Amino acid sequence: MSDKLEFRKLREFGEIINDMFQFIKQNFKPLMKTYIYLCGFFVLAGMLAAIMYQVGLQKINFGYGGNQANANPFNRFGQLFSFNYFVVIIFSLLNYTAITVSTLSFIALYVQKGNQAPTVEEVWSYFKYYFLRVFGSSIAVCIFLIICLLFCGLPFFYVFPAMSLFYSIMVVENGSFEYSFSRSFKLLKDQWWVTAGAIFVIWIITYACMSMASMPAIILTMVSAFTKASGGMSTFIIVISTVIQYVCQVFMILPVIGVTLCYFNLVERLDNTGLLERINQLGKSETNLNSTPEDY
């Protein structure tokens, strides 16, 4: 059996990607159990809200075809951005927060327990402490990123890697909003290109996995659109497609793990915490301290 993955070590670009999948492989069952228990409610609630919104929108578009009310642009705007639309947005934010907090809490406890997978009860203690903090911070971070995106997009691409590290710092280091914000830029100093490249590749892998898993939903949607062009998609197709899309959100675990590996890599380069911890353990344990060889 291979050694448990060590987070506190230096990594090159390729090692970050490989270790992301290695961690999932080694901890698949406890990680999925944590996801189901702590994120399942938000996934189901978001799924139901999305189905209700899309079915309602379908009825508006094709159930009363040709009436003048639908031709009014103000009425169309109100139908698109209805109450159900904002419910879907809220549950999407809650679901993303739940995935982020549960995965980061799992990793934080995994590191604290000496590379041993925590139980759901242990992760829950972290989850309920950080959930609202991360949710509130996510809203502020989203607003900040939108503002950066409006300025020709260049500031967005510069700050996105730092904001990706933000949540790892908040949970792993129990940092406040101000501390996590400033620390993320401090860690990226002199390492922006490598870290940004790794995060970019991680997100490409994530979207590729989600797209491949969502292929049945895409095919069903396209077939329904061509065969029922005048009446729109059937309710059955809408339900099946939405369920598949929300089930595929489990792949959002990938960028959380990958970015956290980037975070620990940057911390090691700046603080050498992993090396110092192993030095302090010399003479205290018979454990092979060279199980994770590094070059400093």
Q: What confidence tens digit (pLDDT) does each residue in 122-161 have? A: 999 999 999 999 999 999 999 999 998 888 777 888 899 9
Is 278 domain-assigned? no
Report which of 132, 96, 120 is spatially closest to residue 251, judged by C-alpha positions: 96
Average pLDDT over residues 21-43: 95
User: For the ranges 16-20, 64-68, 243-247, 252-256, which has the lowest average pLDDT?
Assistant: 64-68
* 2 within some domain: no
Higher-pLDDT residue of 210 and 68 is: 210
* Residue 220 within any structural domain of the chain: yes
pTM: 0.84
Number of domains in the chain: 1
Q: Is the pLDDT of residue 53 over 70?
A: yes
Instruction: Tell me the residue range of the domain where 101 lies.
Output: 19-273
Q: Is residue 223 part of a domain?
A: yes
Higher pLDDT, residue 42 or 273: 42
Residue 285 placed within a domain? no
Q: Does 296 reside within a domain?
A: no
Contact between residue 168 and residue 259 where contact means Cβ atoms under 8 Å apart? yes
Average pLDDT over every residue of 178-202: 93
pLDDT confidence band for 281 (50 / 70 / 90): low
In a domain, residue 59? The reply is yes
Q: Is residue 110 part of a domain?
A: yes
- Residue 21 pLDDT exceeds 70: yes
The confidence band for 82, taking pLDDT boundaries of 50, 70 and 90, is confident
Interior CA angle at 84 toward 83 and 90, to 5°? Answer: 95
